[in-house]
Structure 1
Amino acid sequence: MLNIVSILVGLVAALLAFVGLIPLLGWVNWLMLPVAFVGLVLGLLSSSNGGRNLCMVVIIIGILRLMLGGGLF
C-alpha cells in the first residue's frame, strides 16, 4: 500500500518537475523537491522498490535542473 502511495506522490512530483523544466518556471523545482522527498520516505517504508526508484529519479532530475539554472550551488 505504501508503494502505491509513493508512486502517486512520485507522479505528482514528476508532473511538477516537468513544469519546472519550462524556462522561467524553475522555481517550481523548489516546491517539487519536498514532495519527492516525502514520496521517497514512503517508498523506503514499503516493501517494493518502484515508488522509491521513481522518487529518486525525480529528485535527481530536479536537482540537476536547479544546478543548471543556477539555483543550487
Structure 2
Amino acid sequence: MGLISLLWGIVAMIWMVLALIPLLGWGNWFLIPFAAVGAIIAAIGVLFTRSEKRGRAKTGLVLNGIVIVVAIVRLGIGGGVI
C-alpha cells in the first residue's frame, strides 16, 4: 500500500504542476478526487503496516495532501478556468 500511495502521489504532483499552467486549471477538478483516493490508500497503508515500514505510506499521504491543498487554492484563485 505504501508504494502504491507514493507512486499515486508522484503522479498527482506531476498532474498538479501541469494544472498550474494557465488555461489548464480545469485539470484541478479531476485532480482533487484523484489525490483524495491516493490519500485514502495511504491512510489504509499507514493503518495496516508495521510501524517501521510506514515511511512510504506517510510520504504518499503528505504528497497527496499537498496536492489537494494546492488544487483547492488554485481553484479558489482562478475558478478552475484559468
Task: Calculate the TM-score normalised by the size of structure 2.
Answer: 0.79
Larger Rg: 2
Q: Deviations over 1:16-39 (max 9, x none)?
A: 111110001100111111110110
Counterpart code for 2:26: W
Of 55, 75, 82, which aligns to 1:66? 75
Task: Calculate the TM-score normalised by the size of structure 1.
Answer: 0.88
Q: 1:70 Cα shift?
A: 2.2
5+ residue gaps, structure 2:
47-53
Give the Cα–Cα distance (whole angstroms) in 1 for the partners of residues 45 and 36 of structure 2.
14
5+ residue gaps, structure 1:
none
Query: What is the count of residue pairs matched by the alignment?
Result: 70
RMSD across aligned positions (CA):
1.0
List, as ranges, runs of 4+ consecutive aligned residues in structure 1 with deviation greater than 2 Å: none
